[in-house]
Amino acid sequence: MHKPVVPALLLAAVLSGCAATPAATATTAAVPRLRVEVVGTLPHDVTSFTEGLELDGGTLYESTGLSGQSSLREGAPGVAPAVRVALPAPLFGEGITVVGDTIWQLTWQNGFAIQRDKKSLAELREVPFTGEGWGLCDQKDQNRLVMSNGTNALTFRDPTTFASTGTVTVHDDTRTYDQINELECVGDTVYANVWQTDTILAIDPSTGAVTGSIDASGLLTADEAEHADVLNGIAAIPGTDEFLLAGKLWPKTFRVKFVAVS
């Protein structure tokens, strides 16, 4: 599996930001295999250490990481953000999700989530949680948030209080999957990228069962990959079966479909 080379100046931050051993990406024959089909590209800020990506209508929200460089950004896809707020050091921004007129933004090891006003991105409050924060999405049909922490668990949270309401383990018939990272909720499916790989998993959050394994390799050219870091942004495009995919320090955002491997 291709793994982009981490630029030297960011190596220490990346290793400290996600220190566990990468998960294997092999799947059993029972798990359907898919691949990405690129239908378009958009510019992406090559300095953005992407941790979370979400489309709300025509507005794209992006959370970025690294202590002293973390931010939340709002704007139209493919253009410079119209609104940007910085997270003061030592905060390390992580996954985000839109809930009504607000946005929840995780911090990595800082022990709390930030609830923000969706329009201004102004902080409304901080809510503590236990463990690390990685990915976050809103499963609207179930009135719950789904959160990852880099392990094989998905944690459900109340969208108003952020209180934990349960967990499931991500698995198939023969194994569990750890390093679950950025999340995107689409109906009754959660899409999750596996950290340090080009794999995106489709997960049934009611059971944690993996229902599909998507190969997202080969999006960047060799030259682009040399200066970039890992895949880490999944945003469903409302009203379509397409997604935006991005990554840390990527020069492009890709508009893709997930199609069966022939």
For residue 27, pLDDT over 70 is answered with no
Q: Could you tell me if residue 47 is inside a domain?
A: yes
How many CA within 13 A on the CB side of residue 5? 9
Q: Could you tell me if residue 23 is inside a domain?
A: no
Whole-angstrom distance, CA of residue 56 vs CA of residue 236: 9
Q: Could you tell me if residue 178 is inside a domain?
A: yes
b vs e for 217-248, b when ≥16 Cβ sit within 10 Å of the residue's Cβ? bebbeeeebeebbbbbbbbbeeeeebbbbbbb
Per-residue pLDDT of 61-99, as tens digits, reads 999 999 999 999 999 999 999 999 999 999 999 999 999
Q: Could you tell me if residue 21 is inside a domain?
A: no
Rounded to the nearest integer, the mean pLDDT of the chain is 90
Per-residue pLDDT of 189-213, as tens digits, reads 999 999 999 999 999 999 999 999 9
Looking at residue 185, its amino acid is: C
What is the total count of domains within the chain?
1
For residue 24, pLDDT over 50 is answered with no
Whole-angstrom distance, CA of residue 146 vs CA of residue 137: 5
For residue 4, pLDDT over 80 is answered with no
Q: Could you tell me if residue 1 is inside a domain?
A: no
Compute φ and ψ for 225, nearest 5 degrees: -65, -30
What pLDDT does 7 receive? 43
Q: Could you tell me if residue 26 is inside a domain?
A: no
Whole-angstrom distance, CA of residue 60 vs CA of residue 53: 7
What pLDDT does 29 receive? 54
Domain that holds residue 48: 8-16+31-260
Per-residue pLDDT of 173-186, as tens digits, reads 999 999 999 999 99
Strands 71-75 and 123-128: unpaired
Run of H or E residues at 164 = strand 164-169
Q: Could you tell me if residue 22 is inside a domain?
A: no
* CATH code for the domain of 229: 2.130.10.10
